[in-house]
């Protein structure tokens, strides 16, 4: 076997490669012969052209979620969009209340932001998910208080692929007079989103989970939703987020989102077939547990844990498979992921849980190769390891 064999990439939920069609478009906005000018330069033609490109991309991103382009604010990614949504909204509306509701399996961009809001004097309630990673409408109804002004829940979980019922949850928040924010970083391009009909006031997006470049994202902010800016200087993005706009990144995100609009359905169908092929292999392995029930989550993320095997060794032995695990490594310390912990997955199995995530460029060979690697590694480890 060649030592330099490229690993099989099964970590699309961490990031996706840039689609070649996106990279090609981005390259036109960089050099002297391209549209490199500052889109805020109003005094010359080159600036106008860059501004036109930015506004075209704004419409492309808005179209995927059926928003008005004026409701799209460019950010550096979904992390910044989450920060702007939570901190910006809570600060702007503090006179109406100081309570925020979110869940214990949100991305760290939400959890760490909520923790910093607590430091600032706001109150935060974290809802616990059911065994399929969902927050129920009843739970949300019970947690709402007179001073609750914002509810933030993710559409699709990045670790286990679970889906929340955004419509039911948003309706409850709205009936109560609270605003509703959705982290849709893993949902855009995977499931239909329509802010025109869905009860969503703010929605976070990232380009690099959808075959666009890293370092660019957006926050959808519904008309009449008040947020205070986090970044000051120049008043770009109608005062909500200052800073020179990265034209090439923005054009990349726009192109990627247009491709997602056109291809999401066929991508999903192909990925669902690949997933079924992978599941058929993995479910035959002794001691395999799918973290959530099949059919409850998105097709592209598969979380599977294994009994009777040491998680750290399992990972070390699978270098030819690029995937994520149910552990969070902090130097020497290995702790199980907080998401699996919140679902009640036993620690030892959580440490031996893999997040296999598929994407636009995944192939049957990838799936078969991954199943082969996992099967062989488990067999080898179980024959040499003493049972716990």
Ligand X SMILES: *Cc1c(COP(=O)(O)O)cnc(C)c1O
Place of tokens 């998910």: 129
To the nearest 10 degrees (0 to 180), the angle between helices 364-384 and 247-282 is 60
User: Dihedral angle at the C-alpha atoms of 258, 261, 264, 266, nearest 10 degrees?
Assistant: -100
Nearest of 264, 216, 251, 265 to residue 60 by alpha carbon: 251
x/- letters, 250..289, toward ligand X (CB under 6 A) = ----------------------------------------
Q: One symbol per residue from 184 to 223: x for binding ligand X (CB under 6 A), - otherwise; what is it? A: -xx-------------------x-xx-------x------
The DSSP secondary-structure symbol of 29 reads G
Closer Cβ to ligand X, 109 or 381, answer by number = 109
- In the complex, what is the shortest distance from the CB of residue 218 to ligand X, in angstroms, rounded to a whole number? 10
* Residue of 41, 44, 8, 61 whose CA lies nearest to 250: 61
Rounded Cα gap, residues 176 and 355, in angstroms:
36
Among residues 312, 384, 380, the alpha carbon closest in space to that of 347 is found at 312
Q: Footprint of ligand X on residues 66-85 (CB under 6 A)?
A: 77-79
Min dist. Cβ of residue 77 to ligand X (A): 3
Nearer to ligand X, 77 or 97 (CB): 77
Strand-pairing partners, residue 72, are 220
Residue with Cβ nearer ligand X (212 or 336)? 212
CB half-sphere exposure, 174, CA atoms < 13 A: 13
Distance of alpha carbon 242 from its chain centroid, rounded? 24
- Smaller CB distance to ligand X: residue 186 or 291? 186
DSSP at 27: G
Site for ligand X, residues 216 to 245, rule: CB under 6 A: 217
109 contributes a contact to ligand X by CB under 6 A = yes
Q: Within positions 31 to 70, which residues make up the interface with ligand X, using CB under 6 A?
A: none
- Comparing CB distances to ligand X, the nearer of 61 and 78 is 78
With CB under 6 A as the contact rule, the residue among 158, 264, 325, 357 that binds ligand X is: 158
> Nearer to ligand X by C-beta: 132 or 347?
132
Cβ atoms of 60 and 254 closer than 8 Å: yes
Smallest gap from Cβ 286 to ligand X, in A, equals 31
Q: Pick the closer one to ligand X by CB: 158 or 198.
A: 158
Minimum CB–partner distance for residue 181 and ligand X (Å): 12
Q: In the set 19, 183, 237, 317, which binds ligand X (CB under 6 A)?
A: 183
Question: Taking Cα atoms as reference points, which of 259, 214, 286 lies closest to residue 361?
Answer: 259
Question: Do 298 and 356 meet the contact criterion of CB atoms below 8 Å apart?
Answer: no
- Nearer to ligand X (CB atom), residue 107 or residue 181: 107
Residues 6+ away with beta carbon under 8 Å from 43: none
**Count, residues near ligand X per rule CB under 6 A:** 14
Q: How far is the CB of 132 from ligand X (least distance, A)?
A: 17
Enumerate helices (H) and strands (E) in the chain, giving the number of each. 11, 15
Give the DSSP letter of residue 205.
E
Tell me the catalytic residues: 329
Angle, vertex CA 337, rays to CA 111 and CA 360, nearest 5: 90
Taking the C-alpha atoms of residue 160 and residue 304, their distance in angstroms, rounded to an integer, is 9
Q: Strand, coil or helix: what is 106? A: coil
Q: Which of 58, 107, 248, 360 binds ligand X (CB under 6 A)?
A: 107
- Closest distance of CB 107 from ligand X, Å: 3
CB of 191 to ligand X, least distance (A): 13
Query: CB of 379: closest distance to ligand X in angstroms?
Result: 33
* Residue 357 is a binding residue for ligand X (CB under 6 A): no
Kindly give, in sequence order, each residue whose CB lies less than 8 Å from that of residue 192, ignoring residues fewer than 6 positions away.
Answer: 264
**Selected range binding ligand X among 26-34, 142-150, 178-186, 190-198, rule: CB under 6 A:** 178-186
| Residue number of the CB atom closest to ligand X | 77
- Chain positions contacting ligand X, by CB under 6 A: 77-79, 107, 109, 154, 158, 183, 185-186, 206, 208-209, 217
């Amino acid at each position: 076997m060649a030592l330099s064999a490229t690993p099989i990439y099964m970590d699309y939920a961490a990031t996706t490669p840039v689609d070649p069609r996106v990279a090609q478009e981005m390259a036109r906005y960089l050099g002297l012969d391209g549209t490199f000018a500052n889109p805020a330069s109003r005094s010359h033609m080159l600036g106008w052209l860059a501004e036109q490109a930015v506004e075209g991309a704004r419409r492309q991103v808005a179209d995927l979620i059926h928003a008005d382009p004026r409701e799209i604010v460019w950010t550096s990614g979904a992390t910044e969009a989450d920060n702007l949504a939570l901190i910006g909204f809570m600060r702007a509306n503090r006179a109406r209340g100081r309570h925020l509701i979110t869940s214990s399996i949100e991305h760290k961009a939400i959890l760490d932001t909520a923790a910093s809001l607590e430091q600032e004097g706001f109150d935060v309630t974290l809802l616990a998910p059911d065994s399929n990673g969902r927050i129920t409408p009843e739970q949300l109804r019970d947690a709402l208080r007179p001073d609750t002004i914002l509810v933030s829940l993710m559409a699709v979980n990045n670790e286990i692929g679970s889906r929340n019922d955004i419509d039911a949850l948003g309706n409850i928040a709205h009936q109560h007079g609270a605003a509703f924010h959705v982290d849709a970083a893993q949902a855009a391009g995977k499931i239909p989103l329509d802010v025109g009909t869905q009860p969503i006031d703010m929605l976070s997006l990232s380009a690099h989970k959808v075959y666009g470049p890293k370092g660019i994202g957006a926050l959808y902010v519904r008309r009449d939703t008040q947020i205070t800016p986090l970044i000051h200087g120049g008043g770009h993005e109608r005062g909500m987020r200052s800073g020179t706009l990265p034209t090439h990144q923005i054009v990349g995100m726009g192109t990627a989102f247009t491709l997602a609009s056109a291809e999401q359905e066929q991508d999903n169908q192909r990925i669902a077939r690949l997933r079924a092929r992978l599941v058929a292999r993995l479910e035959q392995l002794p001691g395999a547990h799918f973290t959530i029930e099949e059919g409850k989550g998105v097709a592209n993320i598969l979380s599977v844990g294994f009994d009777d095997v040491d998680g750290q060794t399992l990972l070390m032995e699978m270098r030819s498979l690029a995937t994520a695990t149910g552990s969070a490594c902090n130097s020497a310390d290995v702790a199980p992921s907080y998401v699996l912990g919140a679902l009640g997955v036993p620690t030892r199995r959580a440490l031996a849980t893999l997040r296999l995530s598929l994407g636009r460029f995944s192939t049957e060979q990838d799936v078969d190769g991954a199943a082969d690697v996992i099967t062989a590694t488990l067999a080898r480890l179980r024959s040499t390891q003493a049972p716990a």
